[in-house]
Amino acid sequence: MSYEELMLRAITKADAFKYTAKPNPVVGAILEKDGEIISEGYHKLFGHRHAEINALRSAEKLKNIKFNSFSELTLICTLEPCSHIGKTGSCADAIVKSGIKRVIIGSVDPSSKVSGKGIEILRKNNIEVEVGMHQDLVAKQNRFFFYRHKNNMPFITVKIASSLDGKSHYKNNERVFISSKESREDVQLLRAEYDAILTGTNTFLNDNPRMNARVNFQVNQPEKILLSTSLGVIKNTDRIPFFQGGRVTHIGTNLLERVLPILLENDKCSILVEAGPKLANAFLKAGYVNELIIYTSQKKLGQNGVDWFKENNAIENYGFKLESSYKINTDLKEIFKRNE
C-alpha cells in the first residue's frame, strides 16, 4: 500500500472511535515497512493511550520477526504526535525513543499545547517529517476539535423542534410531543456527538429532561449544563433525572459572554443547545451559533402555541443558510449553517 492509501485507512478506521474519544480528536497511526502494515493503533477512549503509542506497542511484539529495527519503519499518523506530557505521555518523545526515522503526518494539531511542537521534536532528532497529507479530511472528521482550538470558542449548535406553524410549546406549558418518535431518536444520535448539552430554566422545569444520549452503543456521555439565574442552589438532586448519570454544571448567569469560558472547561469543544425560544434566540442573537438544526412536524399548535421566532425571516436574518434537509418519517430535518 502507498503512504496515501495508508493515511486514508488510518483516517477511516479512526472515525469509528468518535463517540468514545471525544472531546479528544480521533487519531489513527500505522507503522509500515516496504508498503506492508506492521502495526496499527487508534485513540479509542478519552483519557487512554494515544494512537501512536498503541501502534508502537503492537510493533514491539513483532520486532525480530517482521523487522529488525524501528529505523526500517515509517509511521503514518493522521494528527501531529503530541509534545505534551498529558494523561499518557508524549507521543513525539516515544517516537524519537523508538528509533523511527520517517513520519508522515496528516494535519498539524491545532491545540496550543502542541501546534507544531510535536513536529519540532521529531525534526530536531533527525526524523524526516512530511506534513499535510489529507489534512482537510482530518480537520473535517475532527471539526469540533479544530473549530474550538482555532477560534478559542466552542462549536455551538442550536437544536429546535417546531410545529408546522412555527411553535415551540403551549402557552400553558401543557406537555406536547411535537416531533415523531423517529426524530426524537435522531436527537439521541445528535446528543451522542456533542461534548455537552445546554438547557435553560423553563425546559428544565417543564420537561424534566434526562438530557443524556440514549443510544445502543458506547458513548462518552455529554456533560449537562443548566443555565439558570432563578433556581438558586438546587436541592435533592438525587431525585431529579437531569442530575443522574454524567457530569452536571449549573451556571448562575445569563450573560452569555460570561458563559463562554465555562463552556470551554474540561476540554469541551462542542455544545448542543436544547432550550426554549428565549435562550435559543439569545444564543442566535449573540452570534455564537455555528449550526441550527430544526425538526419540523406536520402538527399545528395554533393560537395557544408560543412562536420560536418573532419575525418571518428570522433564520436568514440571523445569518444562516440551509445546508441540507432530510425527511424523517413525516417530519422534516433541516440543517442550517452560519454564513461565513
Known catalytic residues are 52
Q: For residues 194 and 222, give the distance between their C-alpha atoms in angstroms, rounded to a whole number.
A: 6
**Nearer of residues 55 and 294 to Zn ion, judged by Cβ:** 55
Q: Determine which residue in the list 81, 106, 276, 305 makes contact with ligand AOF, applying CB under 6 A.
A: 81
Least CB distance to Zn ion at residue 49 (A): 8
Least CB distance to ligand AOF at residue 5 (A): 20
Q: Determine which residue in the list 18, 43, 159, 169 makes contact with ligand AOF, applying CB under 6 A.
A: 43
Least CB distance to ligand AOF at residue 294 (A): 32
Element at 28 (helix H, strand E): strand 28-33
Least CB distance to ligand AOF at residue 114 (A): 5
CB 67 within 8 A of CB 33: yes
CB 82 within 8 A of CB 114: yes
| Maximum pairwise Cα distance, the chain | 77
* CA-to-CA separations, 68 to 63, 84, 223, 268, 270, in angstroms, rounded: 6, 29, 46, 42, 44
Residues between 87 and 146 with contacts to Zn ion, criterion CB under 5 A:
91
Tell me if residue 57 falls in helix, strand or coil.
helix
Is 104 a residue that touches ligand AOF (CB under 6 A)?
no
Binding segment for ligand AOF (CB under 6 A), chosen from 76-84, 95-103, 178-186, 298-306, is: 76-84
- Count of Cβ atoms closer than 10 Å to residue 156 Cβ: 24
- Which cell numbers hold the place of 230? 432563578
Is 161 a residue that touches ligand AOF (CB under 6 A)?
no
CB 244 within 8 A of CB 221: no
Rounded to 5 degrees, what angle do the CA atoms 331, 332, 333 make?
A: 120
**Nearer of residues 113 and 285 to ligand AOF, judged by Cβ:** 113
Least CB distance to ligand AOF at residue 133 (A): 16
Is 87 a residue that touches ligand AOF (CB under 6 A)?
yes
Binding segment for Zn ion (CB under 5 A), chosen from 3-11, 50-58, 64-72, 267-275, is: 50-58
For residue 103, the partner it binds in ligand AOF, Zn ion, none, with Cβ less than 5 to 8 A by kind, is none
Question: DSSP letters of 280-314?
Answer: HHHHHHHT--SEEEEEE-S---GGGEEES-SSTTH
Place of cell 513525539: 92
**Nearer of residues 30 and 272 to Zn ion, judged by Cβ:** 30
Least CB distance to Zn ion at residue 325 (A): 39
Residues between 13 and 42 with contacts to ligand AOF, criterion CB under 6 A:
24-25, 27
Q: For residues 160 and 276, give the distance between their C-alpha atoms in angstroms, rounded to a whole number.
A: 8
Q: Determine which residue in the list 57, 61, 97, 113 makes contact with ligand AOF, applying CB under 6 A.
A: 113
**Nearer of residues 6 and 82 to Zn ion, judged by Cβ:** 82
Q: Which of 93, 132, 108, 116 is nearest to 25 (CA)?
A: 108
CB 63 within 8 A of CB 117: no
The site map against Zn ion for 54-93 (x = CB under 5 A) is ----------------------------x--------x--
Interface positions with Zn ion (CB under 5 A): 50, 82, 91
Interface positions with ligand AOF (CB under 6 A): 24-25, 27, 43, 50-52, 79, 81-82, 86-88, 91, 109, 111, 113-114
